[in-house]
Chains A and B, each alone.
Chain A
Amino acid sequence: MRERGSPLFRRHRPSWRAPVELLSFGLYFLCAVLLVLSRIGHGAIADARDGLVDLTAPLLEVASIPAIEARRAAERVQLYAAAFDEVDRLKKENENLKQWEWQTKLLERKVAHLRSLLNAVEEPGLVFATGRVIADARGPFVRSALINLGRKDGVHIGYAVINGDGLVGRTVDAGESFARVLLLNDLNSRIPVLVGPAGVRGLASGDNSAELQLDFLPDDAKPYPGDEVYTSGSDGVLPRGLRVGVVTGTPGAFKVRPFAELNSLDAVSVLFFDTPALQRADPQVAPGPVALSAPPTEKAESATTASTSLPIAAMMEHVGAAGALPSVGGQAQAER
């Protein structure tokens, strides 16, 4: 006859002297110690993590291929399903863009003329490398992504990461061949921003949700839903003028919806923007006066595409087209 008592309490009474129980206790203790060390940011934990991430990343890179292909196939099916509507929309968009192109050329000429009158110094170009997202972070703690660019590609901690739509996040760990990107919507992400045409200063903070909180706006600031949000560069880490998102929400509870689709990242570019502030974040950044966007030495020697300065729009196109390609180098003018 089958015993019906709760099996949870049917087994032997636990004895702390038993080796198995001691082992279990030891394992619980180990987990607690690791959590505490992780919380205080112990160097040994960080080093071990970097080493292990470098070891496991090739495995992840291989494992991510079917997932990425499946995602692309699903997107293609959706595209085919709405192909006619999409063609109509693109035609209209193309008409609009042609008008914008004409206006932009006029403005470019005007700006160049004004700059020459003011004898303005040319802004430094931004060097970048494009790679692919190979892993997503899951869980309550982090919104991050692992990319297949590392220190050997010139990536350091603190560099801005963008895709074709806008800012994605910044690098927080850099191994030899792989780097971890803290996404904009992560709990630890804080981006100083400029809001709207008036350029009101604020802070876009992640809270692990899809949108960012817009904090520390001046009392007299009046942002409107739909206003664009750009990086201000006042943290001394991120370049000024990178597109972040648009304002949503209501007065008192403004939020920022990122331009970049953070849930389905594919190809991303790391901007090599070295500043003195980065030396505090990453000791491996060369100390002393350096060019703001100096290309990594090895890359500069070997790169064949780093000789021209591209406008950021061209760079965005380049990023969008580099989905399945290995990392490439290039140079871009920061959008102001």
Chain B
Amino acid sequence: MTKFLPALSVLFAVIATAVPWGLPADATFILPLVVVMMVFCWRTIPGAALPPAGAVGLGLLADLMSGGPLGYWALMCLIGATVGGRAGSLRESSDFALHWLIWSALVSVLAGFGWLLASAYYFRWIDWWPIAFGALTSIVLFPVVLHGLLWVRHGRLGPERNAIFRGGS
């Protein structure tokens, strides 16, 4: 069961993105970016297994549920998984701030790339504000999501939390 925990938690988040929460139009980009952030975080948490193929599968499910073009969120999740896999695990670096910085850089690039891709897809410039707002919010939410995932993995934050946040706090 623990083996599938990362995929299950991201699946739960993917379903949550499609549920009608009644969020304003400007906030529609936040939840899908949280899914990408969860993929990134799981790839950095030591011992957790979320292969890129699994990330693509979950991204495709997000595409399917959102009614958008197939492959868009799959691509975003795949990029998140690739960068997360190369960012080094949290235990190795014990540097929370560095991972936060990496995520900030990644989500900025993803937002720009996503906006260009969406514009190219529709042959017109897409409104950039919801994407930028979503990216900024995801940067702010990074510690909360990471805390949450660590809690999901261990049922408590414990010593791993101390190791991870020693460099950041």
Contact = CB atoms under 8 A, between A and B. Distances in A.
B21 to A, nearest CB: 5
Interface in A27-69: 27-28, 30-35, 37-39, 45, 49, 52-53, 56, 59-60, 63-64, 67-68
Interface in B2-53: 15-25, 28-29, 31-32, 52-53
9 contacts: A3-B93, A28-B75, A30-B56, A31-B78, A32-B75, A35-B121, A135-B20, A143-B25, A208-B126
Contacts of B61: 56
A141 B121 contact: yes
Interface stretch (A6-14, A93-101, A105-113, A220-228): A6-14
Contacts of B69: 34-35, 38-39, 141
Contact of A56 (B64, B117, B130): B64
B87 A207 contact: no
A218 interface: no
Nearest to B82: A24
Contacts of B74: 30-31, 34
Given A8-B87, A35-B121, A39-B121, A141 B64 contact: no
B73 interface: yes
A27 B25 contact: no
Contact of B21 (A60, A71, A207): A71
A312 interface: no
Contacts of B22: 71, 263-264
A135 B118 contact: no
B48 to A, nearest CB: 16
A145 B20 CA distance: 8
B20 A133 contact: yes
Contacts of B31: 138
Interface residues of A, number: 59
Residue in A45, A136, A210, A263 with the greatest tally of chain B CB atoms within 10 Å: A136
A142 interface: yes
A141 B87 contact: no
Contact of A38 (B16, B70, B86, B93): B70
Given A64-B19, A67-B20, A31 B102 contact: no
A208 B127 contact: yes
A286 B71 CA distance: 34
Contact of B92 (A7, A56, A63, A142): A7
B44 to A, nearest CB: 9
A109 B21 CA distance: 44
Contact of A34 (B66, B70, B102): B70
Interface string B72-110: 111100100011001110001110001000100000000
Contacts of A11: 86, 88
Contacts of B126: 140, 187, 208
A135 B99 CA distance: 33
Contact of B29 (A71, A140, A209): A140
B19 A135 contact: yes
Contact of A141 (B83, B93, B94, B118): B118
A189 interface: no
A263 B26 CA distance: 10
B130 to A, nearest CB: 7
B152 interface: no
Interface in A274-289: none
Given A24-B82, A140-B118, A145-B20, A185 B102 contact: no
